[in-house]
Structure 1
Amino acid sequence: ILHELSRVHSHLLWLGLAADAFGFESLFMHCWRLRERVLDIFEATTGGRVILSYVQIGGVVRDIDADTLRWICDKLDSIEGEYKEICATFLKDSSVRSRLDGVGYLSQQQASELCMVGPFARASNVPYDCRVLGHGAYGELSDFTPITSTGGDCLARVEVRCAEVNQSIAIVKELAAKIPNDGIGEKSKLKPAVGAQACNVLEQPRGECYYYALGNGSANLERMRMRTPTTQNLAGMVKALEGCDLADVPNIILTIDPCISCSER
C-alpha cells in the first residue's frame, strides 16, 4: 500500500515540476497541494513524510489497523475529484498542449533499443512494468495492466503518469480491503553465507530498479548494487533532446523525472 502511495506522491511532485517548467505556477501549486495529503498519510502511519524507514526484512515495523486503512481510503477519495480537474488541465488546456505536444518524440523502437523503463518507456508504447510479475502483494490484485500511450512525446509522458496516479489509488483501495489482520511477523536477523547472492527488481515511480546483494557470512553484505531507473533512462533523454528547441530542453529533461544522485550509485 505504501509503495503505491509513494508512486502517487512522486507523480504529483513530478507533475508540479513539469507545470513549473512550462511556466504554469498555479498548476504547480495545486499538484503539490494534493501531494501534501499523501504525505499526511505517510506521517500518520510511519512517522515520516518522505524518508519512511518503515520496511524491514520479513515485513514492516508496525501494523496499520482497520480504522487507519479506512481513513487512508477516505483521504484518497478526497483527492480524486480535484485531481481529475488537474489532469484535464494538463491534457486539454491549449497553452499546456502547445508546450508538450510533439516535443521530445521517441518511437517504440527507439525506446526498446535504448532499454528505457518506467513511464518514459510506457509513453512510447513499451508495455513493461515489473508489477506484472506479481511479486509481493501485487499477486493479490484481481487485474493489473501497464498503462501505455502511443504518443511517444512529452504530452504522452504526462498522460501516462496522470493515469498511473488513478491506477495506484485503485490498487491501494483494493489491497486495503484484502490486507490480513495477522500481525507484522518477527524481525529477521540474517547472515548470508559466503558467496550467497540474490537479485530482484521493483517498479519504482521512475521505472524498474534492479537490486543485487552478495553475502560474506556476516550481517554486513560483501556487495550491494542498485541500478536505478534514472541511469537506465539517460540514453533515452539524450535521444529525445536531439534537434529540439532550447526552450523545450527543461520539459524534455523533466519527462524522465531524473534523480541525478541516483545515477551515481
Structure 2
Amino acid sequence: MAKKAPYIVPVGPIHPALKEPVHIELTVVGEEVISADFTPGQTHRGIEWMGLSRNPVQIVHLTDRICGICGVTHSLAFARAVEQIADITVPERADYVRTIIAEFERIQSHLLWAGVAAHELGFDTLFYLAWRVREEAMDAIELITGNRVNYDIIQIGGVRRDITEDQHEQILRCLNNYKDLFGKLKTLFLEDAVISSRCKGTGLLSFEKAMAYSTVGPTARASGCTADLRVDYPYAAYGDLDLKPILPTAYGSEVNGDTYDRIVVRIFEIAQSIEIIEQCLANMPAGPVLWEEKVAKILATCKKAEGEAVGRHEAPRGECLHYVAMDRSDAPIAWKVKASSYSNLHVWPLILKGAQLADIPIIVASVDPCLSCTDRVAVTDADASRTKIFTKEELTRLSYEKTRRMKQ
C-alpha cells in the first residue's frame, strides 16, 4: 500500500475559523498534522510610532485601543511605567479601583474566550450562553467606567472615576449572579462528554516545554507553571489580597497541559476574579483616586522625568509589559509593547504537531490568541521579489545599534 503524500493546508489570513487575521500553514498527511508554521503581522497599526509624538496622558488614550478586549491591560501597564519614571505615587483607593476593573476585564475576556471555544467545537448553543452571561460583566464595567469597550479609566497617577457606595449594590448583584452561574458553566464546559473527548489529550504542552518557550498566563498555568504577576510581584491592591495561581488541580485533576486543562484554568479564574472583586469592595480604603487632578500638573511632572521603566500587568492572557524611556521632553523617546499573546503564539507549531485536522480550530483557540495586541512591526522592501529573513544574531545586532543611537 502506497504511503500518503504530505500536502499543505493554508489557513487564513482571512478564514471563518479565525477572528483576527493570521496565516497558518499546515503540512498534513491524511488527517494528521505533521508540521505547522504561522505568519503574523497582518494588523500592525503603528500605535507605538504614533505614541512617540504624543505626551504620556495622550498615550494612555492610545493604549486603550491596542486591544478591544484588554483595554485596561495596556493602559495600566503603560501608566505604571510612567509612574515609576516620574516618581508618582498612586493613591491606595485608586489601586483598588484599578484591581476591580482589571478583574472584571478578566471575567469578560474569559467568558468571551469560552464562547469562542464552544463555537470552534461546534457547540453554538453554549457559545450563545457564554456571550449572554458575559453581558453582565460588560454592564458592570460600563457602570464603573462609562464605557463597555475602551474604558479610558486609567490616568497617570490613578483613575479618572471612583466607585461610589451606590454602585456597590449593583456590582455585588452582578457577582452573585455569576456565583449562581458558575456551577452551570463548570458542568457545561468540563463535564460534557463531547468537549472532554475533543479536548483531553489534544494540544499537549508539557511543563518543560511551557517553561522553555516562556509561555505566560492560563496557557502556562494549564501546564503546571505557577507564574502569576499578581502573586509573584504584587502591584495595585493585589498585595493586600488572598490569592494563588489557578492550576488544573483546582478541578481535582492532574496537570496534563492539554486543551482541556486550558479550559479548566480559565473557568476557575472567573470564580477567583469574583472573590478578588468582593475582597476589594469590602476593604476599599477612603481617599482620593488621583495623585493630581490637574492634567497640566501631571504633564509638567512627566516633562521633568528622565529614565526608563517597565510596567507589567497580569492580563487575562498573561503577563503584558510596556517599556518606556523618557528624557525630560514632552513625549517618550521610546515605547515598546509586549503583549501576552506574543509569548504564547509561538507554541502553535508545537501543540499542533500530531493533531487531527478537525481539532486545529480549538487547539489554535486554546491559547486565547490576540493578534491586534501582538502585531508590533512590519518589515517591507521596495523590491517585492526579495524576501529578507532576519536571524537572531542580526536582530540582536540591530537592537544594540538602535540602543547606542538613542543614547547618543
Give the corresponding residue for 1:140.
240
Deviates more, 1:90-99 or 1:73-82: 73-82
Larger RCO: Structure 1 or Structure 2 (Cα < 8 Å, ≥ 6 residues apart)?
Answer: 2
SS state at 2:148 partner: coil
Q: Which of 248, 253, 256 is the equivalent residue of 1:151?
A: 256
Q: Structure 2 unaligned runs (5+)?
A: 1-99, 249-254, 377-408
* CA-CA distance at 1:200 after TM superposition: 2.5
Q: Would you say 1:41 and 2:108 are equivalent positions?
A: no
* CA-CA distance at 1:194 after TM superposition: 7.2
Correspondence 1:208-223 to 2 at 5 A: 208-223=319-334
SS state at 1:9 partner: helix
**Would you say the 8 A contact 1:16–1:31 is kept in 2?**
yes
Q: Looking at CA atoms only, which structure, 1 or 2, has the larger radius of gyration?
A: 2
Give the corresponding residue for 2:391.
none
> Aligned equivalents of 1:201 and 1:55: distance in 2?
14
SS state at 1:64 partner: coil
* CA-CA distance at 1:195 after TM superposition: 5.2
> Aligned equivalents of 1:52 and 1:92: distance in 2?
35
> Aligned equivalents of 1:19 and 1:177: distance in 2?
35
Correspondence 1:52-67 to 2 at 5 A: 52-67=151-166
Correspondence 1:75-86 to 2 at 5 A: 75-86=174-185
Amino acid at match of 2:258: D
Give the corresponding residue for 2:65.
none
> Aligned equivalents of 1:244 and 1:184: distance in 2?
50
* CA-CA distance at 1:50 after TM superposition: 1.7
**Would you say the 8 A contact 1:198–1:214 is kept in 2?**
yes
The percentage of aligned residue pairs carrying the same residue is 38
Give the corresponding residue for 1:257.
368
Give the corresponding residue for 2:287.
182
Give the corresponding residue for 1:24.
123
Q: Would you say 1:69 and 2:148 are equivalent positions?
A: no
Correspondence 1:111-260 to 2 at 5 A: 111-132=210-231, 133-141=233-241, 143-149=242-248, 150-185=255-290, 186-187=292-293, 188-189=298-299, 190-192=301-303, 196-260=307-371
- Following TM superposition, the consecutive aligned residue runs of length 4 or more in structure 1 with deviations greater than 3 angstroms are 192-195
> Aligned equivalents of 1:87 and 1:237: distance in 2?
26
Cα distance change, pair 219–73 in 1 and its aligned pair in 2 (3 A): farther
Give the corresponding residue for 2:114.
15
How many aligned residue pairs are there? 264
Amino acid at match of 1:161: R
> Aligned equivalents of 1:228 and 1:75: distance in 2?
29
Cα distance change, pair 123–54 in 1 and its aligned pair in 2 (3 A): same
Amino acid at match of 2:367: I
* CA-CA distance at 1:67 after TM superposition: 2.1
SS state at 2:302 partner: coil
Give the corresponding residue for 2:186.
87
For residues 111-138 of structure 1, the C-alpha deviation after alignment (integer angstroms, 9 at most, x for no partner) is: 0001100000000001100101111110
Q: Say what the alpha-carbon RMSD is for the aligned residues.
A: 1.3
* CA-CA distance at 1:181 after TM superposition: 2.3
Cα distance change, pair 194–168 in 1 and its aligned pair in 2 (3 A): closer
The TM-score normalised by the length of structure 1 is 0.96
* CA-CA distance at 1:263 after TM superposition: 1.5
Amino acid at match of 2:150: I
* CA-CA distance at 1:87 after TM superposition: 1.5
Q: Structure 1 unaligned runs (5+)?
A: none
SS state at 2:197 partner: helix
**Would you say the 8 A contact 1:27–1:86 is kept in 2?**
no
The TM-score normalised by the length of structure 2 is 0.63
